[in-house]
Structure 1
Amino acid sequence: MKNSSFDPSRRIFLSQSTKASLALGIGSSLVGSSLLSACGSPAGDAVEADITTGFSQTDLGYDFSALEPNIDAMTMEIHYTKHAASYANNLQEAIGEENVDTEKPLEEVLKNISRYSTKMRNNGGGHYNHELFWKIMSPDGGGEPGGELMDAINSDFGSYQQFVDEFEEAGKSRFGSGWAWLVLDNNRLKIGSTPNQDNPLMDVSEFKGVPLMGIDVWEHAYYLLYQNERPRYISNWWNVVDWNKVSERYTALKS
């Protein structure tokens, strides 16, 4: 299965003209400045495709059973083909109803989500959140980050273990359904959570930043295997985190 971030039709976003229009549209906002910094980074267009999101569901990139025993195959299949696919399909309806320019990334919509419908908020958020979730997990994941990301974690949280403890608490304490996040905000790492399918890119979110990683703490993400043991799901999730992907996002987004 492919592991691309965009359909080929979205590659037009990588052109210089579209970068210019994105700059005009986003201006000096947190999300815009981070994305534009990445556009001008030494890695060039290669990193931009990895940190922006299209409007269609992309292929998973690994088998449904690949994350076992930490996430079971049935949960992955239902989660990807039913829950996430529903968000992607409903998003397609919303963008048609609200005349969204799909040659710009989904992040452009999310940062102005207060201008759109509840349908767009729920499904645009759900689609973005899941696309990132699949991307930052891997059957070869686990361990600890290294390099600049680890240096930043130690600097902003005191130690890697303190970071883990704070992130797990954000996920465990999120009431009802939602997500826990590690974000970059003004070149500092922060941890927080959002309800439902909101995320820190949204102008309506109380917790803001550019997501580096996020964990889905909706019951459909873990209940078949863990039942009501959300803390155990979160603890085991570290075994599938792809720190290379998270580090790539951090390197691309930091200024």
Structure 2
Amino acid sequence: MPFQLPELPFDRNALDPVMSGETLDYHHGKHHKAYVDKLNGFLTEGKARETNLVEVVRQAHQSGDKKVFNNAAQIWNHSFFWQCLAPADGQQPTGKLKDLIAESFGGTDALLAKLKDESVNHFSNGWSWLVLNRGKLEVTSLHDADTPIVYDGMQPLLTLDLWEHAYYIDYRNERPRYAESVLGKIINWDFVARNLDGDGLSRADQEPATAREAETA
């Protein structure tokens, strides 16, 4: 298959009780995998051989190919999301990230409150984001599979999945409790800080399998 389901960066039960192993079984093992399987079915062999995931997303967006865009963007969004999470260990923003948060929002608590508010009030499915836009931190949200990949100046730092499959097993319909628990307890702030270098897109990108095989041949 041209593209693959990436491994989770933590053990199945590492995020308990904020995010259960059962949720990960379905969210990663079924929903995320389904996007990979569908995209591989849509792409031609030649296109898959030559184009990485980020470029597939951008080309599909430009051409209006909604089927390819939705599945490719969801692969990237999810791959980025998993890296935004880490087992609860009291982690907090530090260094340059902490300073930017203080400058833009007044402190971490204020940022988390704004992210929660954006997540709770976002209508229907989508993603809430912390982005760096021309040197300034901003909180926003995008609908369905929409992604920072296709917007100039929107450098992704952190995202929260707002689709119901992300939280229904553990929180039923309580999106506010889900958002508060994840944002307050299991964010990988080290990963968020690394994305200040503007290279966040590449951290969830992947080459098609045919390109990887050619490099190792």
* TM superposition score category, shorter chain reference: 0.7 to 0.9
Letter in structure 1 aligned against 2:178: Y
In the alignment, is the contact (CA less than 8 A) between 1:141 and 1:243 conserved in 2? Answer: no
Are 1:159 and 2:107 an aligned pair? yes
**Whole-Å separation in 1 of the counterparts to 2:126 and 2:42:** 21
Are 1:90 and 2:38 an aligned pair? yes
**Whole-Å separation in 2 of the counterparts to 1:186 and 1:108:** 22
Aligned counterpart in structure 2 of residue 134 of structure 1, from 82, 87, 90: 82
In the alignment, is the contact (CA less than 8 A) between 1:133 and 1:215 conserved in 2? Answer: yes
Letter in structure 1 aligned against 2:10: Y
Are 1:181 and 2:126 an aligned pair? no
Structure 1's consecutive aligned runs of 4 or more residues displaced over 4 angstroms after TM superposition are 101-104
In the alignment, is the contact (CA less than 8 A) between 2:155 and 2:198 conserved in 1? Answer: no
In the alignment, is the contact (CA less than 8 A) between 1:212 and 1:249 conserved in 2? Answer: yes
Are 1:249 and 2:195 an aligned pair? yes
| Deviation readout 1:171-191 (Å, 9 max, x if unpaired) | 101111111001111121111
**Whole-Å separation in 2 of the counterparts to 1:194 and 1:82:** 23
Q: TM-score by structure 1 length?
A: 0.71
Are 1:215 and 2:160 an aligned pair? yes
In the alignment, is the contact (CA less than 8 A) between 2:119 and 2:141 conserved in 1? Answer: yes
Q: Compute the displacement of 1:209 (Å).
A: 0.9
In the alignment, which residue of structure 2 is the partner of 1:110? 57
In the alignment, is the contact (CA less than 8 A) between 1:141 and 1:242 conserved in 2? Answer: no
Identity, % of aligned positions:
31
In the alignment, which residue of structure 2 is the partner of 1:225? 170
Q: Compute the displacement of 1:251 (Å).
A: 3.2
Are 1:76 and 2:24 an aligned pair? yes
Letter in structure 2 aligned against 1:240: I
Q: Compute the displacement of 1:193 (Å).
A: 0.4
Q: TM-score by structure 2 length?
A: 0.82
Letter in structure 1 aligned against 2:41: E
In the alignment, which residue of structure 2 is the partner of 1:36? none
**Whole-Å separation in 1 of the counterparts to 2:10 and 2:96:** 27
**Whole-Å separation in 2 of the counterparts to 1:251 and 1:175:** 31
Structure 2 unaligned regions, length at least 5? 201-217
Letter in structure 2 aligned against 1:76: L
Q: Compute the displacement of 1:138 (Å).
A: 1.3
**Whole-Å separation in 2 of the counterparts to 1:156 and 1:168:** 16
Q: 1:196–1:162: structure 2 CA closer, same or farther, 3 Å change rule? A: same
In the alignment, which residue of structure 2 is the partner of 1:100? 47
In the alignment, which residue of structure 1 is the partner of 2:214? none
**Whole-Å separation in 2 of the counterparts to 1:100 and 1:152:** 40
**Whole-Å separation in 1 of the counterparts to 2:43 and 2:36:** 11
| Deviation readout 1:22-41 (Å, 9 max, x if unpaired) | xxxxxxxxxxxxxxxxxxxx
Q: Secondary structure at the match of 2:129?
A: strand
